[in-house]
Chains A and B, each alone.
Chain A
Amino acid sequence: MTSDNTKPWLRAEIAQWLREGIISDEQAQRLLERYPSTPEPVEYGGGKGVFASLGVLVFGMGVMLLFAYNWAEMHRYAKLGSIFFGVALSHGLAALIKDPRVSSSLHLLGTMLFGAGIWLIAQVYHFSAHYPDGFLLWAMAALLMAWVLPSLSQCLLGCALLTLWSAVEVLEFNVLHFWALAVLLLLQLPWAYWQRSPLALTVVLMLLALALLVNSWHLQEGAALLHACLLAAMYLCAEHFSPRMSWSGCGSVFRRVGLPLWLALMLIFSFADAANIVVQLDGQTGAAAPLTWSMLFVLGAAWLWVLLDKSLRPRSPIQIAECALLLLPLLVLAAISGGVHKVGMIMTAANLSVLAYGVLFIVRGTSSLDRRQLVLGCGLIVLLVGLRFTDLFESLLARAGVFLLLGVLLFLAGLRYSRQKQRRLQEQRHV
């Protein structure tokens, strides 16, 4: 698992087992060979490129607003000529300049000016037709450039515009609109993989979730939460396939997007109101039912593959526990969609999931001396207790008990972390 950053911990443990005579030198060597690679660090691109692209985006927006002033004294041909000249000049200069960063920024400027041109033409000719089409045209131009160059900034611009197009169609024109979702899934997800770009993959996965949320909300009120939950579970499942992929680093990106989404949704489902919305969805005949069952089917097949394939199957207790944490709420949601109308089931599964993730992060954090995981785990449990303070424990005695337990848990977590750290220091001195 790319996310199981256990190598430093494993080395320390193996050294300890050797000293205690639990394993031989040969066994220690075999164990170290068993986990040869550390996860690929996620690189989100150079700062210079990001700032150059941001500069170009802001500049392009400035040009749009400049034309939005709608200079009455300026003839329409002068306005149109300046935008045509701007687009041609930007792309022309970009083709001539050798520096790839500057060239890419100029191409991005050209695409921004193309977008400005669409709105300028609409303004000049008082064109009030279906305006989201402007976003679509602009997005297609950016995505085409993204594939041809290839360019990360053009890809991000295109994906953002595509999602905006879909959102406007759904929210303002009340039209169910899965096109953006399809393009993101079938064109831009492969692009991000092809380019080995964690940033592009992160953005595409986030926008996929956003586009799905908006459409699901329109499809059937309340379905958005359920579908977002299933999508997050898909991302977390996709992480398990990364060892089989040529770009194993993509697994950590799937996790970075999927896990926060999953935890946020579990926290939401721990409330009765949110759980009730899902329970009231008609899983069999509701408008969202086909999509729900399609997602459940894909998810079920993917998890089955992970569990049956020896090379993908979770091995360590922590990995197995994490799979169980995912599968429990999913089984509950599947049962709810199948007609079991129990609000309590969802709430219990969600609460247990958050609690268990908190404990899991603490265990991982203290074992591998990862302070971030420890803080995350403690924070999750404190947040959960805080949320349940008003709606679960009515008795002051129960509240006091829970807080005492929480205090003890946090104390033990700190103690374990501190002991692990001392032990590691001692080992380093011996080595």
Chain B
Amino acid sequence: MSRLRAILLLLAIAAQLGTLAYMVADKEAIIRHGHTVYLRTLPLDPRDPMRGDYVRLAYSLNQLYPSRLPGLQGLVPARRGEVVYALLRPVGDGVYELDGIADRAPESGVFLRGRVQAEAVAGEALRVNYGIEQLFVEQGQGIDIEQRQRGEAGFRRSMEVALAVDEQGRAIVTGYRWAPLAISVSPAPEIDGAAATPRLLVQLKNLADYPLAVVDNAEHCGVVLTVVNRLASSAAAPCGRYLVSREDIIELAPGAVHRFTIDLAHRRWFVDGGDGLQDVREFAPVSSLRLVYRSPAALQEASAEINLWRGELHSAPFSLRGFE
């Protein structure tokens, strides 16, 4: 082998090792110097032939609806492949949620750098990926995670994914934990032998080993009914901006459950898909629905003395057909 060829070979080998080293160093820098945030997810369980089992992670910030989010209307139509920045705000216990969207990196705060995967057309969501949508696990663990996430004894809890986020908004998944609050939705027991309307039994359970508080009132303003993959949710009225009173706060001891029943025939649970309020039985007779428990923002300052659970908790999807 000639001297020149030997040098070129050495460079080619160095390029291989250097590429791998660069990839590792880049990620390690984010882990070491990045800000740690937790995002709540809805995982699934596929497998990658090259990298083994992984849990596909879906975040609320993957699907952005222009009408719901500050900053997004100016960005739409963002083209596929364009870079966008999801601004995050803390909701407590290290958990962050989406606060806005921008086309330039903010000068401060925590934000994620993402790329548009699908443009928003005709009222649909803008789909954005942040490179944090996969969690690789040891073979077999993916199914365990999925089963746990679906719910133990019908109670679904959120997986909270730990991310290291650097100053440029690049993020790496570093781990996960389970939210301490779980939700269950099931057909309510029939009264006097027959139910005239679809009624749901909603249960919130404290799975932590410490007391936890949730909010609820007569109108169940802490809960919203949404139609999966459609921009439609139950009416804000009569709750409006839910201002929580002290009586609405329910403290749950470890393992305790708060139960209430809702009647979907009631106007409170009518959904607005853009054409005014409609009975969900007519609007989405076969679509999947979710109940979302949301801790009201108005309480956050006054809740220092109680351990109020904050953020959003999505129920498992259900269909009205299952309740008829």
Contact = CB atoms under 8 A, between A and B. Distances in A.
Interface of A: 64, 67-72, 80, 83-84, 87-88, 91, 95, 110-111, 114, 117-129, 134, 137, 141, 144-145, 148-149
B142 to A, nearest CB: 10
A68 B27 contact: no
Given A148-B8, A148-B12, A126 B134 contact: yes
A70 B20 contact: no
Given A87-B16, A87-B17, A110-B13, A68 B52 contact: yes
A127 B27 contact: yes
Contact of A72 (B11, B129, B138): B138
A129 B51 contact: no
B138 A69 contact: yes
7 contacts: A68-B49, A87-B17, A122-B136, A124-B27, A125-B173, A129-B131, A141-B12
Interface in B129-148: 129, 131-139, 141
B19 A141 contact: yes
B191 interface: no
A128 B20 contact: no
Nearest to A113: B16
B8 A127 contact: no
Contact of A114 (B5, B20, B53): B20
Given A67-B52, A70-B137, 7 more contacts: A95-B9, A126-B172, A129-B131, A144-B12, A144-B15, A145-B12, A148-B9
B45 to A, nearest CB: 14
Contacts of B129: 128
A124 B8 CA distance: 31
Contacts of A120: 51
Given A68-B52, A70-B53, A148-B8, A125 B20 contact: no
The 5 closest A-B pairs by CB, nearest first: A68-B52, A126-B173, A128-B134, A72-B138, A125-B27
B52 A69 contact: yes
Contacts of B52: 67-70, 123
Contacts of B48: 68
A72 B137 contact: yes
B23 interface: yes
Contact of B16 (A68, A111, A129, A149): A111
Interface of B: 5, 8-9, 11-13, 15-17, 19-21, 23-24, 27, 31, 48-54, 129, 131-139, 141, 172-173
Residue in A64, A114, A124, A128 with the greatest tally of chain B CB atoms within 10 Å: A128
A353 B9 CA distance: 49
B136 A126 contact: yes
Contact of B5 (A83, A122, A148): A148
A64 B50 CA distance: 7
Nearest to A116: B50
Given A125-B27, A144-B12, A144-B15, A68 B132 contact: no
Given A127-B172, A148-B9, A87 B20 contact: yes
Given A88-B17, A123-B52, A141-B19, A128 B138 contact: no
A70 B138 contact: yes
A120 B23 CA distance: 11
A299 B183 CA distance: 67
A137 B19 contact: yes
A110 B133 contact: no
Nearest to B49: A68
A340 to B, nearest CB: 38
B50 A128 contact: no
Residue in A84, A110, A127 with the greatest tally of chain B CB atoms within 10 Å: A127
A155 to B, nearest CB: 13
B20 A84 contact: yes
B15 A71 contact: no
Nearest to B130: A128
A72 B141 contact: yes
Nearest to A120: B51
Contact of A128 (B15, B17, B132): B132
Contact of A118 (B23, B137, B138, B172): B23
Contacts of B172: 125-127
B63 to A, nearest CB: 16
B48 to A, nearest CB: 8
Contacts of A127: 27, 131, 134, 172
B131 A121 contact: no
A124 B172 CA distance: 10
Contacts of B13: 87-88, 91, 110
A123 B138 CA distance: 10
Contact of A68 (B5, B11, B19, B51): B51
B101 to A, nearest CB: 20
A121 B133 contact: no
B51 A141 contact: no
A355 to B, nearest CB: 45
